[in-house]
Amino acid sequence: MSRIPPLEPPYVPVIQQQFDRIMRGAPPLMLFRVMAGHARAWEKFRAGSLLDRGPLSLREREIVIDRTCALNGCEYEWGVHVAIFAAPAELGEAQIRATVLEGADAPCWSGAEQALIAAVDALHHRVTWTDAEFAALKAHFDEDKILEIILLCGFYRTVSYLANGLALPLEEKAARFPRS
């Protein structure tokens, strides 16, 4: 069980509507149920406005999210995203595995994806990019996409803090980190 108890159904109508919009009819995730029990935290979480698609393709978005969560050791959120979005994002088994176990230079990635993963890694480890890293990213992504990459890395680092800090139990249908 989570260190902070989640809301239990039935949910008040406004919360149910928010869950329905985010989850599209599926049961709400434990993370959402914990956050929604605390109005200010839930409002701030949803105000991040990063639960939408944004300027990145679904594949690019999921690479950023999966890599960020993997680097933060957040099996909870990584597993949710892999289970729900890996197939629609056309991420294969080798690529899913590589988000956790391999470097940006893994051969399963295109040149643009390698630049994307290297950018995520640099933000995670150094909270900045070198001029060369930025140039590599800029060769493949426009300014709107670059800003979205930074925002997603920050948002999902926060999500990782929440999931890990609250010791959220893994969702039943979520993927699990690959082991070597």
In CATH terms, is domain 58-165 a member of 3.30.9.10?
Answer: no
Q: How far apart are CA 125 and CA 49, in angstroms?
A: 25
Largest interatomic CA distance in the chain: 52
The residue that leads in pLDDT, 46 or 118, is 118
CB 177 within 8 A of CB 78: yes
pLDDT computed for residue 7 by the predictor: 97
| Region 89-104 average pLDDT | 98
pTM of the model: 0.95
Query: What pLDDT is stored for residue 48 in this prediction?
Result: 78
Q: Where are the domains of the chain?
A: 13-47, 58-165
The CA distance from 88 to 77, in Å, is: 17
User: Measured between alpha carbons, how far apart are the two ends of the chain, in Å?
Assistant: 28
pLDDT of 28 reads: 97
Q: Half-sphere exposure (CA, 13 Å, Cβ side) for 135?
A: 3
Q: Answer whether the bond into residue 27 is a cis peptide, omega within 30°.
A: no
